[in-house]
Amino acid sequence: MKLQNSLFLLLLAFWLAGCGQPEEPVAETAAKATLDDFELVDRSVYFGNPERTQGRISSDGKMMSFMAPLDGVMNLWVAPLGDFDSARAMTNDKLRGIGGHRWAFNGRNILYVRDTGGNEDFHIYSVGLDGNEAIDLTPYENVRGTFVGGSHRYPDEYLIGINNRNPSWHDVWRVNVTTGEKTLVEEHDRFGQLVADLDLNIRLATAPTPDGGQQVFKKTDDGDWQEMFKIEPEDALTSGPIGFTEDNEHFLMLDSSGRDKTALLRVNINTDEREILAEGETADIGQVLVDPVTNEPLAFSVEHKKREWNALSDSVSADLDKLRGSLGGSVSVWSQTRDNSLWMVASDSSTEPLTYYSYDRGAGELTKLFAARPKVNALPLNVMHPVSIESRDGLELVSYLTLPPHVDPDGDGRPDEAVPMVLAVHGGPWARDRYGYSSWSQWLSNRGFAVLNVNYRGSSGFGKSFLNAGNREWAAAMHDDLIDAVDWAVAEGIAQRDKVAIAGGSYGGYATLVGVTFTPDTFACGVSIVGPSNLVTLLQSIPPYWKSFLDSFTLRVGDISTEEGQQFLRSRSPLYKADEISKPLLIGQGANDPRVKQPESDQIVSAMQENELPVTYVLYPDEGHGFARPENRESFYAIMETFLADCLDGRSQPLEGAFEGSSTTVPAGAEFVTGLADAIEGFEPVVKN
């Protein structure tokens, strides 16, 4: 375009030189795009149920499974591979929907999990293709089931952990997935992880150590447990056994001891001899692809800014090349047939959201099966730009920037003018943001905001030194990283200094509360979703099955067991600085949240009300740590986008009708969000536990 304009001006100059000035010169100037030139996408497109998701194939490759709505609730479906016309629902949940699922090794049963009202007491169920009713494999009250192990050698059986005897620890049961019959295998009161070999014998276990590390034990021939080696505290979140290989004498392990980025090891259980199979260079090893029968590693991924796959076996090199060349997004292998001839793969990018394919390795053919959200795929989506931001002490903060469409016509990741921005903080904090489709990023950028996702210190995947740099730095250096990211965005001409909001869930909700209390002048407003406000009460109320992680909390957050430690935790708690809040705050909470319990939100709301500070509190009686029901998601994000429009001068949809079918309650502050008091008046919540 610039070349064409220059040529036009040159020709015009020659014409003027020969003919004189025209009486009425005409200048063609392209009108600058505005946000109104772009469609305001209905929020249900981003936050309603996906059309289909979690695609998987059976071990013989004949059948596929996926999650899809049934009467508006996510349920489990099966069909012959690629034949959606023949799909049938295997479950008929009418409340919150089914969480996750996997095929049993027999290819005839599917295992799925479900909790009640978001309480995270997950029961494990088995349903067969024969059409019989699902069997609860964990048929006890107030228990949480976990998957321990399975093997093609015993296709009808699975090892499952159940904490019915002691809520803090999971005993191991060997369960027949077709009949529900079970036998107790391992009863214990000390192990956080147990690892079985391919004959379904428990061979390895890990136990927490008082310093925040892990002790690895192996089972001896006489049934006793023998110490094998220790994982030091600095390696405890980046190291651990994965599973046994075919000979049952070697196991795979991720390990960061003696290095910063994790390596993949093969370890001999008898001699502790270790072989390094692969090492991460730019980031930790992420996913490991193994042979479905032998468990031998075939490939591994490393994800710095984007996911990259590396072959460990010549047998999959051509496959990875094919997937890289054919799919534009981050690739994941979701499931494999027993003979490894057929894969279910998914590709995800910011402009081509999660799409599932079957991949025939022998023919080298990819067949598209479905997009998770085809309505989203049909939209003109905004590009997520990976960026590196330097912290004040020199750390690289891998981050992702998404801009509204009207300010970045050339797509270079820099706006023509600074815009309002939402700093979106991920939870965990021992997790990470990654490249790919983000409903938040697309939704908020469509509303007119830049969105910046920052992997602050303490985030996982970038090596142990980066992760451990967050130890006891809650509301300190971890928060400094977020402030440095805001300063970077302002300096780069991306964000308007006085129009930056902070928002997030879980730790991201805590970071929001820290933002409006510890640094109240930085942010124009905040949105905290299930965010803890008091680190003392947070650690006093953790679920009992987190006991194996309690020493790690002491190392990484603070010591709840001493008065000195509690004083330190209070000094890092937003509740005790609530009187510093000067900007509007929106809080969302699930009443059944077992991790960040409702009092965490109640406390900060009460403190703000006592100080006559503006706070809007949205409470869902049938939700837990986040909002699973689509009606609840859409209702909260309707309130959130109106709140942000008030704060940052963005755009939003009307609130009328936004609460239909939801359990929305607003115990405080409806008057602080435009139109909310009127919209909620007379509304009767619909509670589904």
In Å, what is the CA distance from 328 to each residue of 293, 323, 348, 359, 391? 30, 9, 8, 15, 31
pLDDT of 189-246, one tens digit each?
A: 999 999 999 999 999 999 999 999 999 999 999 999 999 999 999 999 999 999 999 9
Q: Which of 250, 593, 622, 652 is catalytic?
A: 593
Distance in angstroms (rounded) separating the CA atoms of residues 498 and 520: 12
Question: How do 384-390 and 419-425 pair as beta strands?
Answer: unpaired
Residue 99 and residue 146 in contact, taking contact as beta carbons nearer than 8 Å: no
Confidence at 11, pLDDT banded by 50, 70, 90:
very low
pLDDT of 10 higher than 50 = no
Q: What's the pLDDT at 14?
A: 26
Bridge partners (DSSP) of residue 625 are none
pLDDT of 282-304, one tens digit each?
A: 999 999 999 999 999 999 999 99
Domains (ranges, CATH) in the chain?
55-189 (2.120.10.30), 377-534+573-680 (3.40.50.1820)
Confidence at 131, pLDDT banded by 50, 70, 90:
confident
pLDDT of 6 higher than 80 = no
- What mean pLDDT comes out for the span 131-145? 94
Q: What's the pLDDT at 480?
A: 98
- Cβ-Cβ contacts under 8 Å for 230 (sequence gap 6 or more): 209, 213, 214, 215, 216
Q: What's the pLDDT at 132?
A: 87
Distance in angstroms (rounded) separating the CA atoms of residues 145 and 115: 10
pLDDT of 8 higher than 90 = no
pLDDT of 312-331, one tens digit each?
A: 999 999 999 999 999 989 99
Verify whether residue 593 is a known catalytic residue: yes
Distance in angstroms (rounded) separating the CA atoms of residues 264 and 282: 15
Q: How far is CA 404 from the centre of its chain?
A: 23
- What mean pLDDT comes out for the span 52-60? 97
- What mean pLDDT comes out for the span 257-270? 97
Q: What's the pLDDT at 689?
A: 85
pLDDT of 482-502, one tens digit each?
A: 999 999 999 999 999 999 999
* Other CB atoms within 10 Å distance of the CB of residue 234: 18
Q: Which of 347, 350, 506, 652 is catalytic?
A: 506
pLDDT of 600-644, one tens digit each?
A: 999 999 999 999 999 999 999 999 999 999 999 999 999 999 999
Q: Could you give the count of Cα atoms lying within 13 Å of 316 in the half-sphere of its Cβ?
A: 24
* Other CB atoms within 10 Å distance of the CB of residue 22: 10
Confidence at 17, pLDDT banded by 50, 70, 90:
very low
- What mean pLDDT comes out for the span 343-348? 97
Confidence at 587, pLDDT banded by 50, 70, 90:
very high
Confidence at 30, pLDDT banded by 50, 70, 90:
low
Tokens describing residue 529: 């979703």
Q: What's the pLDDT at 641?
A: 98
Verify whether residue 506 is a known catalytic residue: yes
Verify whether residue 170 is a known catalytic residue: no
Q: What is the pTM of this model?
A: 0.93
Q: How far is CA 38 from the centre of its chain?
A: 29
Upstream peptide bond of 167 is cis (omega within 30 degrees of 0): no
Q: Which amino acid is at 254?
A: L
Distance in angstroms (rounded) separating the CA atoms of residues 344 and 58: 10
Q: Which of 101, 170, 304, 625 is catalytic?
A: 625
Q: What's the pLDDT at 20?
A: 36
pLDDT of 407-465, one tens digit each?
A: 999 999 999 999 999 999 999 999 999 999 999 999 999 999 999 999 999 999 999 99
DSSP code per residue over 419-448: EEEEEEE-SSSSS---SS--HHHHHHHHTT
DSSP state of 162: E
Residue 176 and residue 161 in contact, taking contact as beta carbons nearer than 8 Å: no
pLDDT of 18 higher than 50 = no
- Cβ-Cβ contacts under 8 Å for 11 (sequence gap 6 or more): none
DSSP state of 133: P
Q: What's the pLDDT at 408?
A: 93
- What mean pLDDT comes out for the span 380-400? 97
Q: What's the pLDDT at 381?
A: 96
* pLDDT averaged over every residue in the chain: 94
Strand blocks (E) in 337-409: 342-348, 355-360, 365-371, 384-390, 396-402
pLDDT of 12 higher than 50 = no
pLDDT of 27 higher than 60 = no
